[in-house]
Structure 1
Amino acid sequence: MIQIYPADERYHATHGWLDTYFSFSFAEYFDPTNVNFGPLRVLNDDVIKPLRGFGAHPHQEMEIVSIVLSGQLKHKDSLGNEAITTFGGIQRMSAGTGIVHSEVNPSATEDVNLLQLWFLPERRGLAPSYEKTDFDISQLKNQWLPVVAKNPQSPNVAHIHQDLTIYLSDIEAGNGIIFEQESGRRIFLFVIDGELKVNEEVNLYKRDSARMAQTPQLKIAAETDTRVMLIDLP
């Protein structure tokens, strides 16, 4: 069964410096029927104004992934890590027993748009850690490219402490790709841009998402040039 979540039904908040959409309960938004999907706890679609952002704040017991779609994102944390990420880069932070970090837009002229995802860790009490990885954007073309995984097979894939894999793909109009899923697992699909058809059943548009369980094969056909994220979850 494919459960569709249209983009315009997400919770929307504006704070002047921040324009954000929540796919799950977060901050002031709470829906007891929409707290998580497996270990996926948060998916926020943020646009941050120039020279603004989230000041230093703490986290514990969460795996946090930031995917920059446009612009720049600057990370700084209490472990001494500091990095600027653009599209083609992934930030993964394991909050573990506790970490303090900030996420700001370092540009004086350009907004930054990012997806921030939170996942419950496979176990509590992990040592906090951070990494920034970079993937080859050209490798997104008409295939699933892993960018985050529990057991990465490449230094271009960020390591996460949960049994999941995040894939990105740029599917050209008129093309299709297939995802084969193991029994007993979940699929979360998020259309970053474009339009696609899932299993010849439903159409998804920009920022729509779909949640699926017990779906052994997923056929994705792009109606227009489409950028999509797929998460394989326990």
Structure 2
Amino acid sequence: MIQVFPSETRYQVNNGWLNSKLSFSFGEYFDPSNTAFSVMRVCNDDEVAPGKGFGAHPHSDMEIVTIVLQGAVRHEDNLGNTEITSVGEVQRMSGGSGIVHAEFNASHTESTRFLQLWFMPNQLGLKPSYETSKYNYDKMQDKLLPVVTSEGLDNTAKIHQDLSIYLSRIGKEKSISFEREDRRVFLFMIEGNASVNEATLQSGDTARIEAISELKIKANEDTFLMLIDLP
């Protein structure tokens, strides 16, 4: 089953410095029928104004992944980490037994856009941790490039859960496929338009996929997408 969620159905928050589009219940938005998909809890598409951001706040028992799509994000936490994550990089933070962090747009002149993804960990009370990883844009052309994995191999960020996050840029009329038995898939169309088996996704659309062992994705125009393989 492929369940498509059009971009315009996402809940939108706009408070001046933050324009956020939410795929799941988060903050002021609560829908009891839309709180998670498998172990996935949050998918926020955030645009943050220059010099603005989220002040120090706590997290626990959550795996948090940030994928920067435009500009750069400055991270600070009580573990002593201070780092700037830019386009082409991925940030993974494990809240574990408790962490306090802040996130800001690293630029005072340009907006930043990033996807923030939350997943339930495979174990509670883990030691809090943080890392960034860099991926090669060329290696995701017309193929799925893993950027987050449970093993943390091949320059991927290591996450404490049985899942993998892939990015792909697909040229017009090109196709890729993904095969996994007894798994769920979350698909986010970052840019472009593509056919996914019998469904069509446009920019900003998401899909939640279950009980399908093979996905065939054909780009109807140049396309940039994220695919998450979930238990």
Q: How would you bin the TM-score normalised by the shorter chain?
A: over 0.9
1:182 deviates by 2.0
The one-letter amino acid paired with 1:170 is R
Find the counterpart in structure 1 of residue 195 from structure 2: 197
What is the CA-CA distance between 1:31 and the residue it aligns to? 0.5
Q: How far off is 1:108 after superposition? A: 1.3
What is the aligned partner in structure 1 of residue 185 from structure 2?
A: 187
Letter in 2 for 1:73: V
How far does residue 215 in structure 1 lie from its aligned partner after superposition?
A: 0.8
SS of match in other structure, 1:8: helix
Aligned positions of 1:84-103 closer than 5 A: 84-103=84-103
Unaligned runs of 5+ in 1: none
CA–CA separation in structure 2 for the residues paired with 1:173 and 1:9: 26
Partners of 1:113 and 1:122 in 2: CA distance: 28
Q: Does 1:223 align with 2:227?
A: no
Instruction: Report the secondary structure of 1:38's partner residue.
Output: coil
Q: How many residues align?
A: 231
**Gaps spanning 5+ residues in structure 2: where?**
none
Give the structure 1 partner of residue 147 of structure 2: 147
Residue 178 of structure 1 aligns with which residue? 177
Separation in 2 of the partners of 1:83 and 1:170?
27
User: Where does 1:201-216 land on structure 2 (aligned, <5 Å)?
Assistant: 201-216=198-213
RMSD, aligned CA: 0.6
SS at match of 2:139: helix
1:54 alignment partner in structure 2? 54
Counterparts in 2 of 1:17-96, with a 5 A limit? 17-96=17-96
Aligned residue identity for 1:93: M
The CA deviation at 1:153 is: 2.3
Paired residue for 2:166?
A: 167
Measure the CA separation in 2 of the matches of 1:98 and 1:40. 19
With normalisation by structure 1, the TM-score equals 0.98
Deviation sequence 1:98-134 (CA, Å, 0-9, x none): 0000000121110000000000000101000000100
Q: What residue in structure 1 maps to residue 113 of structure 2?
A: 113
Alpha-carbon shift at residue 52 of structure 1 (Å): 0.4
State how far apart, in whole Å, the 2-side matches of 1:177 and 1:23 are.
25
